[in-house]
Amino acid sequence: MTVSFLAAAVVAGTPLLFATLGEIITEKAGNLNLGVEGMMLMGAVSGFYVGVTTNQPLLALAAAFLAGAGGALIFAVLTISLRANQVVSGLALTIFGTGFSGFIGQKLIGQVVPNNLKAFFKPFPFPLLNRIPILGEVLFSQDMFVYLGYAAAIVIGVYLYKTRLGMNLRAVGENPAAADAAGINITLNKYLHVLLGGALCGLGGAYLSLVYVPAWQENVIAGRGWIAVALVIFAAWNPYKAVIGAFLFGGLDIIGFRIQGTGFPVSLYFVDMLPYLATIVILVITSMKKSRENVPPKGLGVSYFREER
């Protein structure tokens, strides 16, 4: 019972994990992209559409990846090249993404994922690691998307903290003027990471439409993009902590069904509220805790212009 709940929490948390990792990379480059919800929707609808029409799982993934990156490209052009306000640009992207998915998804409503794709995204035990008691069942008897999520978190962690390029990226987000003076290409770094971040958000969205649901329903993301934005703060911009945060919120997301199953007398509406309530509580707590390590990148939200005086 508990093990199956935890395993389900991991599944529910995986779209959050992708989106959170994507937003972490974006914010590490000093750009606050509030369009996560929009990019997830774009990824969800594009992945689903290509999956249904081509019946090719890899093409569906590629479509989701590119759709997320495409959404991010709009944001990148606005905020990096044109130095527009990041908050407004991000919000606009969310609105755009919602409209985009609604438009493309009109004809998809009610369609289900073809069996070929379902088989491709079927859970399979991860060799060796699945034999660890409990953890093996919770973490390593999942579908390939989930494993991809682990891999993404680890790769991003190593990249950020162990490589020279990751260090350069952190410098861009912390103090672009210092990075620029050190000869780091600010524009290139920002573009690359904003696009990559958007692509990860797109993949997170596609997980919902292709695997989690797996059928097309309108507004399939249902606010998860916003939770991801909050999770970035919860994780203190650390990709490893993002894993914990995402799975925790995945658990809160599904706890309602479980409680209903037990017959415990609690309002369904209250249970549905839990993830959002927890988001608020966590934001309050993390903003009270002061530390010099767990702080947003200093240059977050500020456009950089070398010749500014």
Partner 1 sequence: MMADIAMEGITKTFGKVVANKNIDLQVKYGEIHALLGENGAGKSTLVNVLSGIYIPDSGSVYIDGKETRLNSPRIAAEVGIGMIHQHFKLVENMNARENILLGNKKGLLLQKEKLNGEIVALSERFGLKINPDQKVYDMTVGEKQKLEIMKVLFRGANILILDEPTAVLTPQETENLFEIIQKMKDEGCAVIFITHKMNEVMMIADRITVLRKGETVKTLTKEETSPQELAELMVGHKVDLSIKRPKTEKGRVLLEVKDLQAVNEEGIKTLRGISFKLATREILGVAGLAGNGQKELCEALAGLYPITGGSIEYLGESLVGKSPREISSLGISMSFVPEDRLGMGLVAAMDMVDNFILKDYYKQKGMFVDRKQAREKARQAIKKLDISTPGINNSIRELSGGNIQKVLLARELNSNPSLLITAYPVRGLDINVSYKIYDLINEEKEKGVAILYVGEDLDVLLELCDRIMVLCHGEVMGILDADKAGKEELGLLMSGEKTDKLGD
> Can you tell me the distance from the alpha carbon of 138 to that of 117, in angstroms, rounded to the nearest whole number?
23
Question: Hey, what amino acid is at 133?
Answer: P
Does position 289 interact with partner 1 (CB under 8 A)? The reply is no
Q: For partner 1, give the closer residue by CB, 21 or 169.
A: 169
Q: CA–CA distance from 8 to each of 11, 103, 196, 243 (Å)?
A: 5, 31, 27, 15
Q: How far is the CB of 206 from partner 1 (least distance, A)?
A: 31
Q: Measuring CA to CA, which residue among 286, 277, 268 is closest to residue 249?
A: 277
> Can you tell me the distance from the alpha carbon of 32 to that of 290, in angstroms, rounded to the nearest whole number?
21
Does position 284 interact with partner 1 (CB under 8 A)? The reply is no
**Interface residue with partner 1, options 108, 160, 179, 248 (CB under 8 A):** 179
Residues 199/278, Cβ–Cβ less than 8 Å: no
Question: Hey, what amino acid is at 23?
Answer: E
Q: For partner 1, give the closer residue by CB, 106 or 185.
A: 185
> Can you tell me the distance from the alpha carbon of 3 to that of 10, in angstroms, rounded to the nearest whole number?
11
Sort 299 into a burial class: Cβ within 10 Å, 0-12 / 13-18 / 19+: buried
Does position 190 interact with partner 1 (CB under 8 A)? The reply is no
> Can you tell me the distance from the alpha carbon of 46 to that of 26, in angstroms, rounded to the nearest whole number?
21
Q: Which stretch binds partner 1 (CB under 8 A): 72-80, 102-110, 176-184, 200-208?
A: 176-184
Q: For partner 1, give the closer residue by CB, 122 or 298.
A: 298
Q: Which stretch binds partner 1 (CB under 8 A): 71-79, 109-117, 120-128, 157-165?
A: 157-165
Q: For partner 1, give the closer residue by CB, 173 or 198.
A: 173
**Interface residue with partner 1, options 73, 91, 148, 184 (CB under 8 A):** 184
Site residues, partner 1 (CB under 8 A): 162-165, 167-168, 170-171, 174-175, 177-185, 290, 292-293, 295, 298, 306-307, 309
